[in-house]
Structure 1
Amino acid sequence: MSEAPHGAPIKTPGQLIAAIIAGFAVPIAIIVLLAYYVDNTTRTGAGTDELSSAAVSARIAPIAQVTIRDANAPRAYKTGEQVFQAVCSACHASGAAGAPKFGNAADWAPRISQGFDTLWHTALTGKGAMPARGGTSPDDYSDYEIGLAVAYMANHGGAQFQDPPQPAANPPAGAAPASGADTSAQAAATQAAAAIAAIASAPQQAAAPAAGGGAQPSADASQAGKALYQQVCQACHAAGVLGAPKFGNKDDWAPRLKDPIDTVYNYALHGKGAMPPKGGSNASDADVKAAVDYMVGAAR
């Protein structure tokens, strides 16, 4: 019994040409269709809008931004909630570093019992791990706005404090503080502002030449040290801000005085921890050393 002969599927030149064309055309058509499908599909993956106008503008925007404000325009005060969200929530939302947690009556009860004035004063001057004004400056948030934030947090912790009185738009010189205002908090705020102003103006003050134009005799070194302390150093050392050894406090200065005096001079000249070199001033090395001697002498 014989088997049927096997025949090739392509028997004519026309069939061969058609097979070759199909071998190229079919894959190309599939690729074109897939590309068209992918291009017209809604893209939701990350990075798909990186070439959009908004994304490009955000990438090429300058880092520094300038905000121009009219100094004579009426100030628009932030609410207590806005100040809390912008500043206080960093610690008070979670109770970090021992801060009373927002909305936790048990945490706030001992603070509320001290009264609003004390809480406001503490917020302005700092306490424990909390820096003065939550680490902001009077240019960022006024005393009044800090007081609003204190009342907002305390009231959510069970207090029934009234908001502090809003300051007058243009208080006359020498006018008495508004009724009910916290004088102790205002005094603390004044001291804080004076400290900031002292640091800001320290380079100009320290750079001023001594009267008479000649070199000071050694007998005046203590006076030069006292003057530099009052101009620059007391901004932090008078109250022990940021861990600075408090002026006249022997316990604060004792660990520092275990080092040789040249080491203490070196800290003052070149900075240590939160203290900048020369306290942020451009005073001479001799004046800085004289200020160190003045503070050391007060602690012995």
Structure 2
Amino acid sequence: MQKRVIELYEKVKDSVVSITAVKILDFLFIREPVSGLGSGFIVDERGIVVTNAHVVEGYEHITVTLSSGENVEATIIDIDPHYDIAFLKIPRDNLKPLPLGDSDELKVGQFVIAIGNPFGQVLGGPSLTFGVISGLGRNLRTEGKIYENLIQTDAPVNPGNSGGPLIDLEGKAIGITTAMIPFAQGIGFAIPINEVKYSLSQIEKYGRILRPWIGIYGLDVNPVIAYQLGLSKPAGVLIIRVVPGSPAARAGIRPGHVVIGTDGKEIQGIGDLVAKLREKGIGQEITLNLYAQGGIRNVRVRIEEAP
């Protein structure tokens, strides 16, 4: 196993980059620079880098440090704050992209490697931590935001490694490390790589990320939730928040409702619901089959582009 991890590090390290972002704040008529550090990785040989949205959002000057030590000015292609994903463009080609895996095939207990490069300009190379997938489909509420369907890992995610890849033992990226829970021992999270693949396909097709949206946040219905709500089986999405003024809000959908199907077909969880919205597309209507107060009703909702 040790030899395998060493080989994987050597295989992927040239695809992992360091990201430095700077913005100027005005405070009492004094302009002070504020900088942030993060990581990212190459997803296209033509100079496309993916990282977390929070690493670069709101910053004016973004620099990517390649594995060679070269510093390159980057521009933002697009940002998806909902999934905490950002794509950058650097004026380089013939780069080494990291192969992307399939996050829908992940299993709890699977070995993973987290790689970050927050101090590429100083220390000169990525760092590595090793662990397992300790949970799937996690939902995290932090700083007023809700992140859905996250991968949980016990591979330590050090400050500044945010935006780096979570890698399987085949050397494929299966997630983007994105958060740590303060005061919790050994808990890290990653965005599933299939969200990155979807966003990248949108950029290639439209030049920006278009996400179908109805304005709900939810939890996968597990056996405990199913028992508490009187559902016959653990399937569906328990709505925990509805965005005011959103399509779902206008349709009368409320927290506590459970989406058990779409257009008459059962869904298992958030992943199925998102897939159905993408299949329908922006501007179309979808029928949500809702369980509420012991009964089932159908609600038509118009799909819009996420704000």
When the two structures are superposed, what TM-score results if normalisation uses the length of structure 1? 0.27
Report the structure number with the largest CA radius of gyration. 1
When the two structures are superposed, what TM-score results if normalisation uses the length of structure 2? 0.27
Structure holding more strand per residue: 2
Structure holding more helix per residue: 1
